[in-house]
Amino acid sequence: MGEHPPIVHVPIELFGINLSITNSVVMLLLTSLLTFLFLALAARAVKTTGEGRFANLVEALLEFVRENITEAFMGHNGAKWFPFIACIFFFVLFGNLLGLIPVPGYFHAPTNNLNVTAVLALVVFVVVQVVAVKTHGPKYFVNILFPKSAPGWLRFSLMPVIELIGVLARPFSLAIRLFANMTAGHQIIIVLLTGELIGVSYLLQQGVLMKILSPLPFVGVVVMDAFEIFVAFIQAFIFALLTALYLGEALEESH
């Protein structure tokens, strides 16, 4: 699923599986490259000088992730998992921002592809389960499915079903939340831009006063783009926050 039909650059099929290199794959590779370069340059800038606009930007973003995500939701475990959470935050952020590059039909946000968000959510889900079992052993699932705080008749009847649904719903909610928000935002921009172009064409055909007003419809698109930049940050923050929350619960689980 995605915002546009994929553009196939290199068709590849292996054992009946489509492994073609498409523009969606290019967007994913570009997102990974941007994440790697940003974090690598960030480490170098902060370590060598610690001064300058880029170093200040890096420090502000990393401090934001550390204080508002890892420390807030993971406590003393935050420092250990900070690199993982920061990597997820910047990967989702750059993936979101790529959709704002004005190259229709080619550039799109990898995060408005349900396949991408589903894999991200599945990675988080698997990591959380592995960490939980490694920290608490198999009893983790017993404590989750049969919470001691529940009354006896509920603990061994409805609670296992309810808790299992709750655990399995987490990756679905992570994937769909990010996918839906990014897809909706970009679709709104496309609709607004189409409407503005029609409006500008109409105004240019009118009198002198209307022609003077013809640039105004583009203000709506500019405002919406600015809002989408804000949404890109918010969605990256929420995805990283929920990842930290789930990891924190796995590490500190005590039902």
Assigned domain for 113 exists? yes
Q: Cα torsion at 228, 72, 179, 57 (round to 10°)? A: 40
- Residue range of the domain that includes 83: 8-252
Assigned domain for 233 exists? yes
Assigned domain for 66 exists? yes
CA distances from 161 to 51, 153, 166, 253 (A): 54, 13, 9, 19
Tokens 């994913």 sit at which residue?
A: 28
- pLDDT score recorded for residue 246: 92
Q: What is the distance between the alpha carbons of residues 19 and 138, in angstroms, rounded to a whole number?
A: 37
DSSP string over 49-74? T--SHHHHHHHHHHHHHIIIIIHHHH
- pLDDT score recorded for residue 237: 94
**β-strand partners of 22:** 8
- pLDDT score recorded for residue 109: 81
153 three-class SS: helix
Q: Whose CA is closest to 162, among 183, 146, 139, 182?
A: 146
Whole-structure pTM value: 0.80
pLDDT tens over the chain, length 255 residues: 445 567 777 777 777 777 777 778 888 899 999 999 888 887 777 666 556 677 788 888 888 999 999 998 888 888 899 999 999 999 999 998 887 776 666 777 888 888 889 999 999 999 999 998 898 888 888 777 777 766 776 777 787 888 888 888 888 988 998 888 877 766 666 666 665 555 555 555 655 555 565 566 667 667 777 878 888 899 999 999 999 999 988 888 554
Task: Indicate the helix (H) or strand (E) that contains 245.
Answer: helix 217-252
Assigned domain for 219 exists? yes
**Contact (CB, 8 A) for 73 and 243:** no
Number of structural domains, the chain?
A: 1
Tokens 């589903």 sit at which residue?
A: 118
Assigned domain for 44 exists? yes
**C-alpha triplet 230, 236, 239: angle, nearest 5°:** 140
Q: What is the distance between the alpha carbons of residues 29 and 96, in angstroms, rounded to a whole number?
A: 14
- pLDDT score recorded for residue 204: 53
- pLDDT score recorded for residue 128: 93
**Contact (CB, 8 A) for 11 and 19:** no
Assigned domain for 2 exists? no
**Contact (CB, 8 A) for 147 and 154:** no
DSSP 21: E
Residue 17 has phi, psi (to 5 degrees) of -100, 130
Task: Name, in order, each residue with C-beta under 8 angstroms of 131's C-beta and a sequence gap of 6 or more.
Answer: 247, 250, 251
Assigned domain for 3 exists? no
Q: Whose CA is closest to 216, among 188, 185, 195?
A: 195
Assigned domain for 1 exists? no
- pLDDT score recorded for residue 220: 67
